[in-house]
């Protein structure tokens, strides 16, 4: 299974190295008022896709990453044990960038060639009530087209009016529904 996430650090801001610092346990708790609470967390993801489509890998796909937290899918719990986590730089109410969908589609197709991926889900699907990402701004139909999925279940909701355009990202130094794949 692939779990799609959305993350921005500081919240609602794009660019910079805070996400990489969080996933490598090097986040400075004094760098932003919101960082003190999350700096001690030991979290990771297999991949991060930046706003410009740049792909960063943190954990090999054959190893467990700590992206799902308390989670369940079907009759299975502890989704970290059987999933690949892909973080998108973004937030629930900001439209994700076209370059991100393009890279996410390429990455999922590559992962499908290597692993028996049965489902692609949002963090909100496996941690309902606890997590909301990738949020209403994530276009599942667009991802399905990028991946080449033939059909989507009927749970796809229209994009809400609260989706807003993303502010321009700062230069970075390092170049809800689900569907079956």
Which residues are CB-contacts of 113 (< 8 A; sequence separation ≥ 6)?
Answer: none
Q: Which residues pair with 94 in a beta bridge?
A: 164
Question: Candidates 3.60.20.10, 3.60.150.10, 3.20.20.120, 3.40.80.10; correct CATH number of 2-180?
Answer: 3.40.80.10
Active-site residues, by number, are 87
pTM of the model: 0.84
What are 54-102's pLDDT values in tens digits? 999 999 999 999 999 999 998 999 999 999 999 999 999 999 999 999 9
Domain residue extents for the chain = 2-180
CA distance 140 to 56: 22
- As a dihedral over the C-alpha atoms of residue 119, residue 125, residue 131, residue 137, rounded to 10 degrees, the angle is 80
110 is written with which tokens?
Answer: 């590559």
Average pLDDT along the chain:
84
């Amino acid at each position: 299974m692939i779990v799609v996430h959305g993350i921005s650090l500081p919240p609602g801001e794009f660019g910079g190295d805070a996400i990489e610092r969080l996933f490598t346990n090097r986040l400075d708790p004094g760098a932003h008022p919101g960082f003190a609470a999350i700096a001690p967390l030991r979290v990771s993801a297999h991949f991060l896709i930046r706003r410009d489509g740049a792909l960063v890998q943190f954990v090999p796909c054959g190893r467990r990453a700590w992206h799902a937290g308390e989670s369940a899918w079907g009759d299975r719990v502890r989704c970290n044990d059987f999933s690949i986590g892909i973080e998108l730089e973004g937030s629930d109410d900001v439209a994700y960038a076209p370059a991100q969908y393009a890279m996410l589609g390429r990455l999922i197709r590559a992962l499908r060639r290597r692993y028996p991926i049965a489902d692609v889900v949002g963090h909100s699907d496996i941690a309902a009530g606890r997590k909301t990402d990738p949020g209403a701004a994530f276009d599942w139909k667009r991802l399905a087209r990028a991946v080449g999925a033939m059909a989507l279940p009927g749970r796809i909701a229209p994009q809400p009016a609260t989706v807003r355009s993303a502010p321009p990202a700062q230069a970075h130094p390092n170049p809800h529904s689900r569907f079956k794949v």
